[in-house]
Chains A and B, each alone.
Chain A
């Protein structure tokens, strides 16, 4: 057990920063992000030893983070205070000095659109990989991406995402 725990601890320490950043982008809250990654890594612990390949373990941990976040999103009322479905008429101004425009814009996306953006443009997953991670169709990923980018353009300006055609994310 001790050897097993040592190996897992090394992995958790190594995986934590990346998973935390992904969780923060998904949840826009440090406390929630920490809870999410802790919960996800505890789930990974349950399966530790059954996953041999280090890269696969990282991918598995990320999947657990996303699935767990999805589960939280499905809770009624989750994060309702920060989600703004309607596109504002004017470009965004930061609501506080500690939050960048990009993060604030991300916060204003609905949960699923934010998840799609994070997975595709931060984790650099393909449409298919994103669909698999979120357990939605590739068509939904594309439509959610399109809606999300439209909102980000409205919030941050056209220069942020002028077009999707021909990019590697498609």
Chain B
């Protein structure tokens, strides 16, 4: 019987020489990953399942600042409501403005572009499954078009002001060679593919994660951000970005001078910098426990304090949002997952209450919008959900 195979495998496995567990190295890698990866999986809690969707009836809650919210809806009607709250998904349904689009697969991630949202779907809602993923572009008018992409376990980049998607592609047979790829989502055509060399060992993805803005595509390698001007073909390693964390949007990237040591975190500054000049555009005190999440338009930073209590619970009770331009800070309640609209407003979804909340991080004012929301895992626009 196959029990014999099981016995043989167990005997063989027991005979395997197992090296000592490099626990210190693992913990160090884990800490580095905490610092370098986007905190999207750790940002707040995912909203729970709600009620089965029956339509998208947008109304203004009576207690909300009606004039502001109404103005947003009027603007939304003119340039459909994509600009109202961006997009989010509940289960297999994506809500984009006044439209909803249902998929046969679970929604993995939602990427903002100037031509609508690109939705990544697959069998499971999380991204690090065995694939395959499928991609659909939903225009602000609710029309859809499949986009033929086969990116596997890679981290693509979009920008809310660009119709392009960029990603990096490993080159077969050469672990240090990568293709920088740019796709025009309006046509589905690949408009650039340029090969570059670089070492990538720090992340668990198939290729370095990417960021895109304008004519530039960046990939985060071991020695820092590599930049490609895909119009001219010019490349460079962005100076001073060795060891940078994976946090970038709209031509800005983040780094931190805080460090982890075996004795604990050493405080420093979490900084937003300009890819082009390297100039520090904003600094936020970092006790060594914060994550920053740049808005898709690069104008705001969501500051997540990832301090943990000894029993493993996050200790932060509020969420800070910092203007990159002015440094002004507003505070919103913690315990809520905040995504983004394409224009840098915060987006949160309470599926149980059939309510979405959009807040302006410039002044903290919020609109509450009633919306029948279906069941399933909520995915918010503007968050990568990469893991």
Contacts and interface: CB of A to CB of B under 8 A. Distances in A.
A117 B33 CA distance: 31
Residue of B13, B206, B387 with most partner-chain A CB within 10 A: B13
Contacts of A70: 130
A76 interface: yes
Contact of A76 (B22, B34, B170): B170
B18 A4 contact: no
A5 B21 CA distance: 15
What does DSSP make chain A's interface, helix, strand, loop or mixed? Answer: helix
Contact of B23 (A2, A13, A20, A136): A13
A2 B288 CA distance: 13
A74 B9 contact: no
A52 B311 CA distance: 10
Contact of A45 (B4, B34, B310): B34
A160 B1 CA distance: 8
Given A21-B16, A152-B5, A167-B3, A136 B130 contact: yes
Nearest to B130: A135
B387 A43 contact: yes
Interface string B1-16: 1111110111011111
Contacts of B173: 77
**Chain B interface residue number, banded:** 35 or more
A91 interface: no
Given A13-B23, A24-B16, A160 B5 contact: yes
Contact of A3 (B27, B310, B387): B310
A30 B27 CA distance: 21
Nearest to A49: B312
B23 A9 contact: yes
Given A49-B312, A161-B4, A167-B1, A43 B33 contact: yes
Nearest to A34: B19
B312 A20 contact: no
A9 B9 contact: no
**Chain A interface residue number, banded:** 35 or more
A162 B204 contact: no
Contacts of A90: none
Interface string A94-111: 000000101100100000
Nearest to A52: B312
Interface stretch (B121-129, B180-188, B212-220, B296-304): B121-129
Given A12-B21, A71-B204, A167-B2, A134 B33 contact: no
Given A67-B130, A122-B13, A38 B2 contact: no
Interface in A19-36: 20-22, 24-25, 30, 34
A121 B308 contact: no
Contact of B124 (A2, A48, A135, A167): A135
Contact of B30 (A8, A22, A159): A8
28 contacts: A1-B308, A9-B23, A12-B21, A12-B23, A12-B26, A16-B21, A20-B16, A24-B16, A25-B9, A30-B19, A39-B29, A45-B26, A45-B29, A45-B30, A45-B34, A46-B387, A48-B30, A67-B129, A71-B204, A75-B170, A77-B173, A102-B12, A103-B12, A117-B5, A121-B6, A161-B4, A164-B2, A167-B2
Interface of B: 1-6, 8-10, 12-19, 21-23, 25-27, 29-31, 33-34, 37, 41-42, 123-124, 128-131, 152-153, 170, 172-173, 204-206, 264-265, 289, 307-308, 310, 312-313, 387
The 6 closest A-B pairs by CB, nearest first: A45-B30, A49-B312, A16-B21, A135-B130, A42-B29, A21-B13
Given A21-B14, A30-B19, A71-B130, 15 more contacts: A1-B308, A9-B23, A13-B23, A25-B13, A34-B19, A39-B29, A45-B26, A45-B31, A46-B33, A49-B308, A74-B206, A100-B12, A117-B5, A161-B4, A166-B1
